[in-house]
Structure 1
Amino acid sequence: MRKYSKAYYLKDLRSYDGWKELERSDGDELSDETIVYLQDNYTVVKDVFDEEDYIFSDVDDTWMSFCKEKLEFEIPDFGSAGATSEAAN
């Protein structure tokens, strides 16, 4: 499992101009209301526990900018939070 994933409605990700949805091998039809997961490597999966169940994997700088600016996707720095807590003690 990836270290970080964030849930989004598929309609929000589909608003990206370069969106190229991968064909589903399971035959599932995904609606705009389907909840999907944007992973810390900027790929998108349907199942948070199956990190290779890709819906979108065409990661480039434009996609990463869209995620940061439009979706407000930010990967938390879990390491610095622990360091701050230890410093406070």
Structure 2
Amino acid sequence: MKKYCKSYPLGELRRFSGWATAASPEERELADDTPVFLCDEFTVLISPVGVEKDKRLFTEDTPEWREFCTQTLKFEIPADLAFAYAEPEQA
């Protein structure tokens, strides 16, 4: 279940060296300035809500992709949302 997504222009994500081989064919029709959403599980969606909420443009979860997202894009879960990712306490 996605808890957090952040919008980026598609062109920024296309800078990833593995993007061209792993992205969906539908992605090729979109312009670089199209806003897309990078989600907490490192998938890329056209939109996290609405009719297109489940249309994934990129789903390859590799160490290289995660490094690109965290180092190049500076993607991270905001500190004020950390509670949503906390493990439940065991009784």
Structure 2 length normalisation: TM-score? 0.76
* Number of residues of Structure 1 aligned to a counterpart in Structure 2: 77
Moved over 4 A (4+): none
Structure 1: stretches of 5+ with no match in the other structure: 81-89
Per-residue CA deviation, residues 43-88 of structure 1 (Å, 9 max, x unaligned), is 00001211x21000011111000000000000124219xxxxxxxx
Give the structure with the higher percent helix.
2
Give SS of 1:12's match.
helix
Partner of 2:23: 21
Larger C-alpha radius of gyration, 1 or 2? 1
Per-residue CA deviation, residues 11-65 of structure 1 (Å, 9 max, x unaligned), is 00000001022023xx982110100000000000001211x21000011111000
Q: CA RMSD in A?
A: 2.1
Partner of 1:45: 45
Structure 2: stretches of 5+ with no match in the other structure: 85-91
Structure 1 length normalisation: TM-score? 0.78
Partner of 2:78: 76
**Matches of 1:75 and 1:65, distance apart in 2:** 14
